Amino acid sequence: MPTAQACTPTLPGFTCGLDATLRVIAGKWKPLILYFVAQGGPTRYGALRRAVRDVSDKMLIQQLKELEADGLVKRTDYKEIPPRVDYSLTPLGRSLAEALVPLCSWGTENMAEVTRVFAERDALNSQRPEPSGQSTRIE
Amino acid sequence: MPTAQACTPTLPGFTCGLDATLRVIAGKWKPLILYFVAQGGPTRYGALRRAVRDVSDKMLIQQLKELEADGLVKRTDYKEIPPRVDYSLTPLGRSLAEALVPLCSWGTENMAEVTRVFAERDALNSQRPEPSGQSTRIE
DNA sequence: CGGAATCCGGGTGGATACTG
DNA sequence: CAGTATCCACCCGGATTCCG
C-alpha cells in the first residue's frame, strides 16, 4: 500500500528517486561513514577509521572526498600541529543519514537470518576446489 | 537528536545492523531490483530488464540469483513455451524493500540538488587535462 | 596525526554471440 | 522470452611507502 510510488521519474538522468540516491551513496563504505558521522557528530579522521572497521586509509579518504564533493559531509581542518581534522554532516547529509536508519534497523532485526544465509553460502563455497579460508567476497 | 543508535554490535561478523544490511544489498543493482519488484508484485524478467535501465542481462541475472540465494526474492518458472518466469519478494525481501522507501523519497526530494552537484563535478573533470594520469571519466 | 602516491591483483560488469 | 557463455577493459580496493 504505502509501497511508495515515490519512484516516479522527475528529472532526466535518473530513473527514480532511489536511482538518484544510489548514485550518491554507491561505494563500499559511504553508508557506514554517513551513519557513523551522523551518530558521533563531528568526527575525527582517526575515530572514523576505527569505527569503520577494515577500511583502508585510501578508501576512507577517497570516499570522504566524494561525500564532500557531493555536499554531504563537511571537512574541517584546524590547521594545528599535530594535525586535527574532523568531518561533520551537512544538512543534506544529515537528511540522507536519517533515511539510512530503517536499513540499520532492518539489519539489526534480521541479523540472525542474514548470518545463517551467509553461512550456508560459505559452506557451499568451501565445497568447491577453493583452498584457504577467507571468503571476503561481497560487493 | 533521535539519530538512532540502533547501530549496536550484536553478532560477530557484523559491526552493526547497517553493516549486515549492506552485505546483502551491496551490488550495483540490487536495491533497484528489490524496489521495482516490490512495486510491481511478481515481475517478469523482461519487465525488470526494462525497468532497471542500463542493466545488462548478465548483471541482472547475477544479482537476481544472489538475491534469491539470500532469500530475498523468489523465482517462479512456469515452464511454458515461450518461457515465462517471474520474480517476487519473500517476506524478508518485502521488509527490506520497505526499508528502502526512505532512500527513494530522499532521492526524489533532493534530485535537483544531486543533479546540480553532479553537473559541477563533471564540469571540473572535463576542465582538467591532468598530466599525471588519464582520468577518462566514467562510461 | 592525517593524509598522498604508487603498485598491482582480482573482481565487476559491459558487449557480443548463442541457446532452448 | 529468458536466459547462458566467453572475452576482456577497467576500476575498485588492499598493501605499502612517503610527506607536512
Helix%, strand%, coil% for chain A, nearest 5: 55, 10, 35
CB spacing of A18 vs B32 below 8 angstroms: yes
Judged by C1' against the alpha carbon of B64, the nearest nucleotide is D3
Percent of chain B with pLDDT over 90: 65
Chain A residues touching residue B111 (CB < 8 angstroms): 10-11, 14, 17, 20
Query: Could you tell me which residues come within 8 angstroms of residue B54 by beta carbon, excluding any fewer than 6 positions away?
Result: none
Residue from the list B3, B14, B32 with its beta carbon closest to the beta carbon of A111: B14
pLDDT above 60 for A102? yes
User: Is A32 domain-assigned?
Assistant: yes
| Cross-chain Cβ contact B102/A102 below 8 Å | yes
Contact call for B108 and A10, based on CB within 8 A? yes
Q: Which nucleotide is closest to the Cα of B49 by its C1'?
A: D2
Residues A33/A91/B4/A3 CA torsion (nearest 10 deg): -100
Each residue's pLDDT tens digit, B111-139: 999 998 888 876 666 554 433 333 333 33
Strand C close to A77 by CB, under 7 A: yes
pLDDT at B47: 95
List, for residues B83-107, the tens digit of each pLDDT value: 999 999 999 999 999 999 999 999 9
CATH assignment at residue A49: 1.10.10.10
Hey, are the CB atoms on B108 and A35 less than 8 Å from each other?
Answer: no
Nucleotides of D under 7 A from a protein CB: 1-6, 11-17, 20
Confidence of residue A2 (pLDDT cuts 50, 70, 90): very low
| Gap from B73 CA to C19 C1', Å | 26
* B135's grid cell: 582520468
CA distance A126 to chain B (A): 16
pLDDT for residue A4 is more than 50: no
Residue A131 falls within a domain, yes or no?
A: no
Query: Would residue B138 count as lying in a domain?
Result: no
Q: Is the CB of B80 under 7 A from strand C?
A: no
Q: Return the SS3 of B88.
A: strand
Question: Which of B11, B22, B107 lies at the smallest CB-CB distance from A19?
Answer: B107
Is the residue at B33 inside a domain? yes
Tell me whether the omega of the peptide bond preceding residue A82 falls within 30 degrees of 0, making it cis. Answer: yes
What mean pLDDT comes out for the span A28-39? 94
Residue B137 lies in a domain: no
Q: Is residue B7 part of a domain?
A: no
Domain-embedded: residue A7: no
On whether the CB atoms of residues B21 and A103 are closer than 8 A, the answer is yes
Of A19-28, A116-125, B34-43, minimum mean pLDDT range:
A116-125
* Cα–Cα dist A49/B113, whole Å: 29
Tell me the residue range of the domain where A57 lies: 17-126
Question: Hey, what's the cell of A44?
Answer: 575525527
Residue A53 lies in a domain: yes
How many separate domains does chain B show? Answer: 1
Contact at CB, A3 and B112, closer than 8 angstroms = no
Q: pLDDT tens digits, residue range A40-87? A: 999 999 999 999 988 999 999 999 999 999 999 999 999 999 999 999
Give yes or no for CB of A46 within 7 Å of strand C: yes
